[in-house]
Amino acid sequence: MKFYIETLGCQMNVNDSDKMAEFLVANGLTRCDDYADADMVIVNTCSVRFSAEHKAYSLLGRWKEIKDNKPNLVIGVTGCMAQYAAKEIKTRCKYVDFVLGAKDFEKFSKTVKRFLPKTNSSSLHPFTHSPDVFKYITIMRGCSNFCSYCIVPYVRGPEQSIDYNIILDEVKKAVNDGIKEIILLGQNVNSYSYNGVNFTGLLQKISALDNVTRIRFMTNHPKDLSDELIEEIAVNKKICRHIHLPLQSGSNDILKAMNRKYTYEQYETLYNKIKNKIPDINITSDIIIGFPGETDKDFEATFNASRKLQFGGLFIFKYSVRPNTPAAKMGNKVPLEIIKKRHTLLLEDSNIISKKINEKYIDNTIEVLVERYNAETKTAEARNSQNIKVFFDSDKDLTGQVVNVKITKVLPNSMSGKLQ
């Protein structure tokens, strides 16, 4: 029996899909890359943006056509959209066999068991990871911050930190399988707390384990990123020199309406503190354009903040209405043409900034971890500690190795160079 999983949305979903795949493989199924070949298809949905929901429904439509000719095809819907729109999915897509929301992720094994062939395998069957370079490990689920535009607290429930013993076991297993980089995931990793261990404590415990070479984490919330954590990153060389610190807006009125719980000035102070303590850090950020009520003046504040702070990378999102969030009920919606115009202005400017920041690498030899190799083009894809992608030509597959590359060319979000 073959299965196919389509993952939409964030890294948390990628990680949940990996876990589902582990369970299915442990129960005798084989993963395939084309849903047309599969006996079980699952779409792990996202509801952060409207477009992701649209994509899930169109995929389900295509799967229905397959099921019409292959009635035994099992179709499942998991993730955030399955959490808040389960009823709608079941009504619109009666042919779906199971719908399992993000809050109920732990019930996945129970839910799919009835569709699996009878084998001696169980959920305890040991699963061997195929050797890979990095591994996402979820350290927290849910979120209790209730940013007014965000659906996550409603679909994933309140913030819950995972027992650090479970996390440490997962890390040990990953490094034993040859994983070189551990990426810790949570909606707000800075507020991790389990039995008296905070996020800094967790990082210390993980770095103390044998064979752990690189640790990354995301995402951070400016209101919770502590001095203690900044100190730890500064002295702990196993922690990558990259912090993703979402700003969302440079206007205090908009930040307040977003319920972000910090002002622009507080953000800037934190940003400068990090830069001063960790000079080689790369700080990247998120911005939402067109939040309800965003005036030209508010946008100007965001634009100026981007120029002043000089982020190494900026992810700019157009505001997307999410049902049942406080922002959905707010008036003064910004017309789409204005959102698009502001988006383009900020994107063009931030790309110039990121490229300029990357230019400092030209002619420098830097250490990178090789993530992928294309044998046809003989090109390797790697990443430096600052989370910038680096491409270079290589005759050999060096995947999983740390190598030196002399940078010859830079773009806003990547660089290329010569293997040394």
Q: Are the C-beta atoms of residues 324 and 364 closer than 8 Å to each other? A: no
Nearest distance, CB of residue 142 and ligand SF4, angstroms: 8
Token pair 């440079």 is at which residue? 250
254 near ligand SF4, rule: CB under 6 A:
no
Nearest distance, CB of residue 219 and ligand SF4, angstroms: 7
Closest CB to ligand SF4 among residues 115, 315:
315
Say which residues have a Cβ less than 8 Å from residue 275's Cβ, sequence separation at least 6.
281, 283
Which CA distances in Å does 299 have to 246, 255, 339, 354? 16, 12, 10, 20
Nearest distance, CB of residue 178 and ligand SF4, angstroms: 32
Residue type, 331: G
Closest CB to ligand SF4 among residues 38, 80:
80
10 near ligand SF4, rule: CB under 6 A:
no
The whole-angstrom distance between residue 341's C-alpha and the CA centroid of its chain comes to 27
Nearest distance, CB of residue 9 and ligand SF4, angstroms: 12
Nearest distance, CB of residue 156 and ligand SF4, angstroms: 8
Residue choice 103, 141, 216, 221 for contact with ligand SF4 (CB under 6 A):
221
Q: Are the C-beta atoms of residues 285 and 246 closer than 8 Å to each other? A: yes
Closest CB to ligand SF4 among residues 134, 146:
146
Q: Are the C-beta atoms of residues 31 and 18 closer than 8 Å to each other? A: no
Closest CB to ligand SF4 among residues 67, 141:
141
Contacts (CB under 6 A) with ligand SF4, residues 116-155: 143, 145-147, 150, 152-153
Closest CB to ligand SF4 among residues 138, 187:
187
Q: Are the C-beta atoms of residues 97 and 82 closer than 8 Å to each other? A: no
Nearest distance, CB of residue 248 and ligand SF4, angstroms: 8
Contacts (CB under 6 A) with ligand SF4, residues 292-311: none
Closest CB to ligand SF4 among residues 76, 250:
250
Q: Is 281 left (phi over 0), alpha (psi -120 to 50) or beta?
A: beta
Please tell me the distance from the alpha carbon of residue 16 to that of residue 137, in angstroms, as a whole number.
Answer: 10
The whole-angstrom distance between residue 409's C-alpha and the CA centroid of its chain comes to 27
Q: Are the C-beta atoms of residues 319 and 149 closer than 8 Å to each other? A: yes
Contacts (CB under 6 A) with ligand SF4, residues 162-201: 187-188
What the block records as the tokens of 371 is 């993530």
What the block records as the tokens of 294 is 């965003």
Closest CB to ligand SF4 among residues 48, 415:
48
Nearest distance, CB of residue 260 and ligand SF4, angstroms: 7
Q: Are the C-beta atoms of residues 267 and 273 closer than 8 Å to each other? A: no
Closest CB to ligand SF4 among residues 79, 417:
79
Q: Are the C-beta atoms of residues 181 and 134 closer than 8 Å to each other? A: yes
3-class secondary-structure state, position 35: helix
Closest CB to ligand SF4 among residues 291, 392:
291
320 near ligand SF4, rule: CB under 6 A:
no
Nearest distance, CB of residue 339 and ligand SF4, angstroms: 18
Please tell me the distance from the alpha carbon of residue 50 to that of residue 31, in angstroms, as a whole number.
Answer: 28
242 near ligand SF4, rule: CB under 6 A:
no
Size of the site for ligand SF4 (CB under 6 A): 10
Contacting positions for ligand SF4 (CB under 6 A): 143, 145-147, 150, 152-153, 187-188, 221
